[in-house]
Every structure is written in structure tokens, then in C-alpha cells.
Amino acid sequence: MDQQFLDQENRYLARVENVLDEGLADVERQKERLGVDLVATRKEIWDNIGDMDEYEQTGRETQAELGGDRYVMLTKLQDRLERQKDAPYFGKLDFSLQDAARINLYLGLAQVSDQAGNTYVVDWRAPVADLYYDHTLGEASYTAPKGQIKCNVHNKYQFVIKEGKLQYAVDTSTTVLDEVLLKELSKNASPVMRNIVSTIQSEQNKLIRASFGEDLLVQGVAGSGKTSIALHRIAYILYHSRSIIKPKEIWIVTPNKAFTAYIGNVLPELGEEMVPQCSMEELAHLELKKVCTFESREAHLEKLYAERPTTEREASMRYKASVQFAEDVAAFAQKADRYSFHPRDFVAGDYVCPKGTLEVLYYRRFAHYPAAKRMELIADYVERDFKEHFHAKIPTALHIKIQELVMGMYTRYDLVTLYRRMLKELADKGAPVILPERQIPTDKGFQGDPIPYEDVYGLVLLGALVEGSHVNRKNKIKHLVVDEMQDYTPVQYAYLKAIFPCPKTVLGDMGQMVDPYLNAGDLDTIRRYLGEECRVEYLPTSYRSSYEITTFANRFAEREIRPIDRHGEEPLVLHVPPQEEVEAIERQIDYAYDKGLESVAVICRDQATARRIHRALHRDALLLLDGNTPYGGGTVVTTAFHVKGFEFDQVILPEADEEHYPGEWGKQLLYISTTRALHRLVLLDTAQ
């Protein structure tokens, strides 16, 4: 870039920094005044608490509460302005509308305007920003609220600004895949995920800006930015639909709490509140906490990797993870009414609601509701009918009596007993099922073996269909994001569909299944649980690893990964005797840190191997074998299952040979593990 251009851009940056300084000063003044007012209001309430009437006191307390809310809002604005001062924008768009003067727009994490209303920086989510991410130079268009806007793009520039200073500028004549992106990708891995607004690619941008009212199914290879897309999509939805959707009305289903912590900074960086997150296992705990205890997924996988299950159990697990089983559970739930509903004439004085009417209400009018909800609706119906019959209000005591009589026609069965009855019926029809053992409830919990993991979501689905869910009663969820889609079975998708009847964004990689039995199967299976107009998209490019690592990982990939042109070291395959394995790992860790790398993962095939190696290492290292332990950088010893979605500067794979990674399943684990590496990959072959 020539000096004249850089001088011009430095002057503009200084102007934007001044606007931000003025904004910060104004916010500070407002906070100071508001703080004084709040202290005075609270003192007045306290000093006159005995003299104020109820209405005056309520008015003052409301005033103080609103003032407190305003103070919190100003503090959030102050935090945002301070973040913006570090790097107020990252791009510049030089374009013109048809037959009009040229316009220069600067794009940043959030809009920057002065007190007169002049805009200096446009939010990256604004409709016009689509020109920056999606179009090359020449004729282009973007969709605004008033329709399609045609224009011409003349130039695009990218900037790197740190601590309010312009580091460098790049003239970008194509879409955003250039030296700025390559510089970002060449950095060391961060212990937490960061936003990618300055380097969003065209194919990612299209998914981020898709309508929140449509179901979106995304198959992306490892490192294609799936989780980043999901989080930026949430920020985009909140920006454009703020009047109709709140952060608490968007939920993310994540693999575990460690991953939740890893992605927790992204939305706040983008100026949005973090949305609620939970794992499938946490949902199961909410549904079953009063029903039974159950085996965790981690315990299930540890057993699975340690010893192959019997042929009988293999068949049972495959069936319980099938579309057929989901349909069988739904069919049983529909006919389970005969075990639970016992209608009879409802009589109160000369008022009668016949048994036949109750049957029509239960089996027809309210048939699309879970049984427990149907009983509530029937009780409401009887009350209304009773009031119309007597033309009078219902006293509280009578209201309670009607509720008791109607609810008395419904028998709540123990869910595990009902589930076992269902399995027995299915077994009689030839289904390959193994029945879970009964548990005995006690004052201290449940006595007996936990319910096997493969039975958990059949139980959860049956409970949701018969009794209704305990999860989504208070919260009206308007959009659901499901990450790591490949690890959820049809039964789990049937459950999510039943309790979250809202649009969904579902992302994952079918090549990264960690359970050979309990998984999604294929994309078509997932799609059947989404809307008819579900949009399916593919992301074939990995932006995480170097060209050499991605090319190496392709030998294990189900679908070919498209590498980017960022070069580094060739993956290193070392043949070492088993007794020298730990020493070799130590040497490779030392080498990585000597080279300036900051995070190293020793990724093992199973938990037993991870524990053995962790014990043998002569250094501080985190043993990450559960979903609750956050990773904060440095050396970690773990398994492929526990670090899906994470990335590290260097990855070391012990026992990376056919003996320990046999067959197709071994290839999948190697694919997951090798694609965690950004800059350096080491495989240790200890086969005899």
C-alpha cells in the first residue's frame, strides 16, 4: 500500500478513536449522574420508609430499579466501547449505488456513531456488509429491508488494528481469503474460541446470514468453522430479530461443559449475551432425576473401547439407536393410554360430563398433547362446562375437587416399568432388545445398577411423549442449535423434535462419530427429524491445519478435506519401542515449546492409555477425561472423544498403528485426532 493511502487511513482511524473517546466520556458522565441519583433515591426511600404510602413507596422503588437497569446498560456500553477502541474496524468497502457517488464503509464488530448521528463504522451484520464477504469487484447486490439493492464494488481493504494503531492494510480484490486470513491461521491456538468476523469466508457467510426461521443442516469437515458459524449465526439472528427473539430463547446443545467453556467468549466478543447451553446428558438428567440413575456417556465409551460387547448387546445397541426404535417408542406411547386413562362419568350434583365426552377429549380433541397435558386440558374443559351449566363462578374448594376427580382418572406409571413393558412387547415381536434392570427408589437415591446408556434416550423419549417434557415448560425456545450432530441417535433427534418444535441449526461431521453403535448413521437420517424445507449445506475446506497436516489426515477421512495454502512441517511418524514411548513424547513436547508453540495435546485411543501416559510424564499436564474440566492451555493428555471441536498447536498420537487403531473405526478416531493439530503432528508407532 502506498504511503498516501496509509496516511489517509491513519487520519480516519484517529477520527474514529476520538469518536469512541467522546462516547466513553459521555457514558462516564451519565454513569456518574445516575449513580448520584440512585444514592439519593435509595436514601429517600430509607429515610421516609414509614411516612410514604404504598403507592409512593412502590413508585420510588420502581424508579430505583429502572435506574439500576440503566446503570447496568451503560456499563455494558462502556465495556463495548473500550473493546472497540482496541480495533474499531477490520475492513473497508468502496462501492457505489447505480448512477450514484462512491461510498466508503468501514466494517467492525459494532457500529460507531458520533452524537450527531454520523456513522463511522458499520456493524458486520448489517445487510450491506454482505458485499464485503460475498462479492468480488464489479457488479453486485445485497438484500436490504426494502429489497434487492444493485451496486458496483470498486475496492475492498482489510486492516489489522491493535491497541488503536494500524498495523497493516491489504488491498483485497477477491473474496476474503488472503494474507490476513493466513496470518490469523498461522497464530498459535487459543485456549478459548475467538470470533472470526474479520476472516469470514463466503461459504460461511451464507450460512451465518440464513433466515432463522428455516432448518439448516451443515455437514462440514474438521476445521471448517462449523461451531464458529453457529455462534456468529446466533449473533446475526439476535441483531436482525431483536424485537421478536431474546438470547434466552435460543439454546445450544453442546457435547459437554468443557466445550461450553471453550466457546463461551465468542458471543460476548460480538456484543451479545451468551445464550443457554446444555448437553444431551444434562437434558436427560432433567427428565430422569426423579425416575432413575443412568450410565454416563463417558463410562459407556470407556467400557466400549476397553472390551468389545457381546453379539447380543451389539444388536441391542444398534436397534436402540435406530429410526425403527424411535418409531416403536412413539407407537407404544400412543397406545400406552390404555394403561393410564380410566374414564368414567363425571358427576357433581345434577351436572354430568359423560364418560364418552371425556374419551373424545382424550383420544381425539387433545390427542396431539402428552397424556399428562391432556388431563390438564380435560380438567379445564370440565370446569368451563360446569360454570356454563350453573351460570356461576367456581369456589376454590370446588376447583380443587374437580381437578382431583379428573386427575384421579389417570394413573401415572413408573416410567422404567412402562419402558420395560414396551421392550418386552418388542422382544415378543422379534426385536433384539436387552431389558435394563429395575432400580429401587430410597431416601438416599436409587438402589441398583444404573440404566445402561443405550436405554437412556428411549426412556427420555417415552417420558416426553407420555408425560410431557420437564425441560421446555417455562422457556419458549424459538431456535435450537445442535453441535456435533453425528453423535446423536435417531431416538435423541426424535426427542429434540418433540420438545423443541422450533427451527434448528444442526452442524457436525459424519466422519467424526466416536461411538460405533450409538450415532446418527447418515445425513438423511438426521434430515427426517427436521422440517420438510430443511436446507442442507456442505463445507469441504479446513481452515485449521496446515496443508501438510490436512493432506496427511485425508488418508483417514470419509470425505476428502480441501486444504488451504498454509504450509508447515510434514507430519512426523516415529517408530519407537513401547518402553521408549513416554521418553519420545517428552522429547516432542520439549521440541514444541522450544519452537514457540503454546499448546500440546497427547491424544490417546482410550482412557486407560491416557491415564497410563499421564502418570508416566515428568511434567505438569492436564488429564482431560471428563466433560466438566475446562482446558486453559499448555499440555493435555486426553482422548479423541474429549477434544472434539478443540484445536492445539501440536498433537502427539501414542500407539498410532493398526494394532491399536484397527479397521474403519480406527480410521475415524485417527481422523478426529490428526485434525486437532494446527502446526505440528507427531505419530508414534509402537507396534511390534
Cα–Cα dist 383/377, whole Å:
10
- What number of other Cβ atoms are within 10 A of residue 127's Cβ? 15
pLDDT in tens, 648-687: 999 999 999 998 999 999 999 999 999 999 999 999 999 8
Phi then psi for residue 626, to 5 deg, are -145, 165
- Give the pLDDT band of residue 594 (cuts 50, 70, 90): very high
- Residues, the chain: 688
Cα–Cα dist 535/523, whole Å:
12
Closest CA to 483 of 210, 251, 209: 251
Alpha helices in 48-142 (DSSP H): 54-86, 130-134
Q: What angle do CA 295, 523, 432 make, to 5 degrees?
A: 45
Phi then psi for residue 329, to 5 deg, are -65, -45
Mean pLDDT of the chain: 91
Phi then psi for residue 184, to 5 deg, are -65, -45
Residue 197: its pLDDT value, please?
A: 92
Residue 138: its pLDDT value, please?
A: 92
Q: What angle do CA 243, 245, 251 make, to 5 degrees?
A: 165
- Using CA of residue 306, residue 312, residue 315, residue 320, what is the dihedral sign? negative
Closest CA to 124 of 109, 105, 140: 109
- Using CA of residue 477, residue 482, residue 487, residue 493, what is the dihedral sign? positive
How far lies 467's CA from each of 280, 340, 461, 520, 523, in Å? Answer: 19, 11, 10, 26, 30
Cross-strand pairs, 46: none
Residue 475: its pLDDT value, please?
A: 67
Q: Please say whether the beta carbons of 49 and 61 come within 8 A.
A: no
Averaged pLDDT for residues 460-472:
87
pLDDT surpasses 80 at 244: yes
Closest CA to 576 of 648, 639, 637, 653: 653
Q: Please say whether the beta carbons of 562 and 571 come within 8 A.
A: no
Q: Please say whether the beta carbons of 41 and 64 come within 8 A.
A: yes
**224 vs 410, more confident:** 224
Residue 228: its pLDDT value, please?
A: 96
Q: What angle do CA 69, 75, 76 make, to 5 degrees?
A: 90
Amino acid at 647: E
Q: Which of 35-49, 124-138, 402-416, 437-451 has the lowest mean pLDDT?
A: 437-451
How far lies 13's CA from each of 98, 156, 164, 258, 319, in Å? Answer: 28, 17, 8, 38, 62
For residue 238, give the 3-state DSSP assignment: helix
**Nearest 10 degrees: CA dihedral of 87, 89, 91, 93?**
-160
CA atoms within 13 A on the CB side of 627: 19
Beta-strand (E) ranges in 533-589?
A: 535-539, 572-575
Cα–Cα dist 80/121, whole Å:
14
Cα–Cα dist 497/472, whole Å:
12
Averaged pLDDT for residues 558-565:
92
**Nearest 10 degrees: CA dihedral of 625, 630, 632, 636?**
0
Distance, CA of 401 to chain centre: 45
Residue 473: its pLDDT value, please?
A: 62
CATH superfamily of 565-685: P-loop containing nucleotide triphosphate hydrolases (3.40.50.300)
Residue 444: its pLDDT value, please?
A: 65
Averaged pLDDT for residues 454-471:
92
Q: Which three cell numbers stand for residue 326?
A: 424411535
Q: Which three cell numbers stand for residue 192?
A: 478459548
Closest CA to 205 of 164, 176, 179, 178: 176
State the DSSP string of 244-309: T--GGGEEEE-S-HHHHHHHTTHHHHTT-PPPPEE-HHHHHHHHHTTT--B--HHHHHHHHHHSPP
- Give the pLDDT band of residue 42 (cuts 50, 70, 90): confident
For residue 455, give the 3-state DSSP assignment: helix
Q: Please say whether the beta carbons of 219 and 539 come within 8 A.
A: yes
**Nearest 10 degrees: CA dihedral of 526, 530, 534, 539?**
-40
Residue 472: its pLDDT value, please?
A: 67
Which H helix or E strand runs over 482? Answer: strand 479-482
- Give the pLDDT band of residue 60 (cuts 50, 70, 90): confident
Q: Please say whether the beta carbons of 438 and 418 come within 8 A.
A: no
Residue 642: its pLDDT value, please?
A: 92
- Give the pLDDT band of residue 596 (cuts 50, 70, 90): very high
Cα–Cα dist 644/255, whole Å:
9
Cα–Cα dist 109/121, whole Å:
9
- Portions of the chain given CATH number 3.40.50.300: 565-685
Phi then psi for residue 218, to 5 deg, are -120, 115
pLDDT surpasses 60 at 361: yes
pLDDT in tens, 136-153: 899 999 999 889 999 999
Residue 394: its pLDDT value, please?
A: 80
Cα–Cα dist 646/256, whole Å:
12
Cβ contacts of residue 450 below 8 Å, gap of 6+? 292, 293, 294, 295, 439
Closest CA to 672 of 255, 223, 217: 223
pLDDT surpasses 80 at 101: yes
pLDDT in tens, 499-558: 999 999 999 999 999 999 999 999 999 999 998 889 999 999 999 999 999 999 999 998
Q: Please say whether the beta carbons of 252 and 484 come within 8 A.
A: no
Q: Please say whether the beta carbons of 199 and 240 come within 8 A.
A: no
pLDDT surpasses 90 at 634: yes
Q: Please say whether the beta carbons of 157 and 170 come within 8 A.
A: yes
Residue 174: its pLDDT value, please?
A: 55
Q: Which three cell numbers stand for residue 13?
A: 482511524
Distance in Å from the first CA to the final CA of the chain: 58
Alpha helices in 528-577 (DSSP H): 547-553
Q: Which three cell numbers stand for residue 445?
A: 437415591
Q: Which three cell numbers stand for residue 626?
A: 471428563
Closest CA to 197 of 250, 153, 133, 140: 133
- The C-alpha cell 473474496 sits at 175
